[in-house]
């Protein structure tokens, strides 16, 4: 597996970050309109013939994205590299979900799923095109023959704004400070960091890589997947086509190549 100069994979970085961030993660993301976003993503999947109700959520975090699926009758298996995030997911979801500690760079074959997804930045914690292809190959191995894969990636616009700026979130007397450290003209394919202060003097690092569309398409092909759709959206979270330079996120839908 390709590793960065530090000798650490994206999984190593993400695990450290999310073990520390877990207690404040839901506070930091409380303003997200996740249910509406998920509903729009499911509509996009339905336009591509989504059938069945078995979901594998890769990088599930505290369960924000799979909970609406669970409510609408999906059978959910979910995994994450952070045990602390999974513990919070368990508290919310109860025993109705199969949860596993797993690195998407070494994804077990959990079964055959009608839908495999990795949402809300999970993919951007991978740090090279080789890691991306490896993770996608693991997801492909979990797809049912007619299954669909969906994931989002942050676009350059996000790294040139959110990863440049300072954002403060105050909730229940807690103050979380996100300090982007990227230059405003950061180049495509760069690794960007943000320092996040979760308590006075307690700072963790988010380390993410931007994946340009050409790299994503090459990684999908290399993993034996065929791209069906690319959508983009801005801060409103409403997917549209085509993907534009002003979009902060891209959404990819794929299936196993014939
Ligand atoms: C921003 S959170 C999103 C959580 C969830 N997908 C959601 O939609 O709310 C990103 C999650 O990806 C997980 N993650 C990052 N890299 C991972 C990896 N290599 N393997 C498994 N999980 C990973 C992190 O631990 C974290 O829980």
Query: Contact at 8 Å (CB) between 77 and 97?
Result: yes
- pLDDT given at position 173: 86
Find how far residue 256's CA is from the centre of its chain.
20
pTM over 0.85: yes
Q: How far is the CA of 122 from the centre of ligand 1 (A)?
A: 4
Give the Cα separation of 194 and 159 in Å (integer): 10
Ligand 1 atom having least distance to the Cα of 13: 16
Q: How far is the CA of 116 from the centre of ligand 1 (A)?
A: 14
The single residue listed with the structure tokens 């196993």 is 256
Helix (H/G/I), strand (E/B), else coil: 12: helix
Q: How far is the CA of 66 from the centre of ligand 1 (A)?
A: 12
Q: How far is the CA of 35 from the centre of ligand 1 (A)?
A: 18
Q: Per-residue pLDDT tens, the chain, 258 aa: give them.
A: 444 566 899 999 999 999 999 999 988 888 778 999 999 999 999 999 999 999 999 999 999 999 999 999 999 999 999 999 999 999 999 999 999 999 999 999 999 999 999 999 999 999 999 999 999 999 999 999 999 999 999 999 999 999 999 999 998 888 999 999 999 999 999 999 999 999 999 999 999 999 999 999 999 999 999 999 999 999 999 999 999 999 999 999 999 999
End-to-end CA distance of the chain: 26
Query: Contact at 8 Å (CB) between 123 and 210?
Result: no
Ligand 1 atom 23 nearest Cα: 59
Write a three-state SS string for 211-242: CCHHHHHHHHHHCCEEEEEEEEECCCCCCECC
Site residues for ligand 1, CB cut-off 6 Å: 10-11, 14, 18, 59-61, 64-65, 80-82, 85, 103-105, 119-122, 125
Ligand 1 atom 9 nearest Cα: 64
Mutate to test the pocket of ligand 1, among 12, 59, 66, 100 (most ligand atoms within 8 A of CB): 59
Give the Cα separation of 131 and 48 in Å (integer): 27
Q: How far is the CA of 14 from the centre of ligand 1 (A)?
A: 7
174-180 sheet: strands from edge to edge: 166-171, 174-180, 191-199, 202-209
Query: Contact at 8 Å (CB) between 132 and 46?
Result: no
């Amino acid at each position: 597996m390709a590793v960065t100069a530090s000798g650490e994979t994206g999984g190593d970085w993400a695990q450290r970050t999310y073990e520390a961030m877990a207690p404040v993660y839901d506070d930091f993301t409380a303003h997200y309109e996740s249910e509406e976003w998920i509903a729009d993503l499911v509509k996009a999947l339905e336009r591509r013939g989504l059938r069945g109700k078995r979901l594998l959520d890769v990088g599930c975090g505290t369960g924000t994205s799979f909970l609406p699926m669970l409510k609408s009758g999906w059978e959910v298996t979910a995994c994450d590299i952070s045990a602390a995030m999974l513990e919070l997911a368990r508290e919310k979801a109860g025993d109705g979900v199969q949860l596993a500690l797993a690195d998407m760079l070494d994804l077990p074959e959990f079964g055959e799923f009608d839908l495999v997804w990795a949402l809300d930045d999970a993919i951007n914690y991978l740090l090279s095109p080789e890691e991306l292809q490896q993770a996608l190959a693991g997801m492909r191995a979990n797809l049912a023959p007619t299954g669909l894969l969906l994931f989002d990636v942050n676009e350059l616009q996000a790294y040139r704004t959110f990863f440049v700026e300072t954002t403060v979130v105050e909730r229940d007397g807690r103050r979380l400070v996100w300090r982007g450290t990227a230059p405003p003209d950061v180049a495509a394919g760069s690794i960007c960091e943000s320092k996040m202060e979760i308590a006075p003097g307690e700072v963790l690092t988010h380390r993410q890589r931007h994946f340009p569309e050409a790299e994503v398409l090459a990684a999908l092909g290399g993993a034996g997947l065929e791209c069906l759709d690319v959508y983009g959206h801005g801060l409103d979270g409403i997917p549209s086509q085509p993907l534009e330079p002003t979009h902060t996120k891209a959404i990819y839908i794929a299936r196993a190549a014939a």
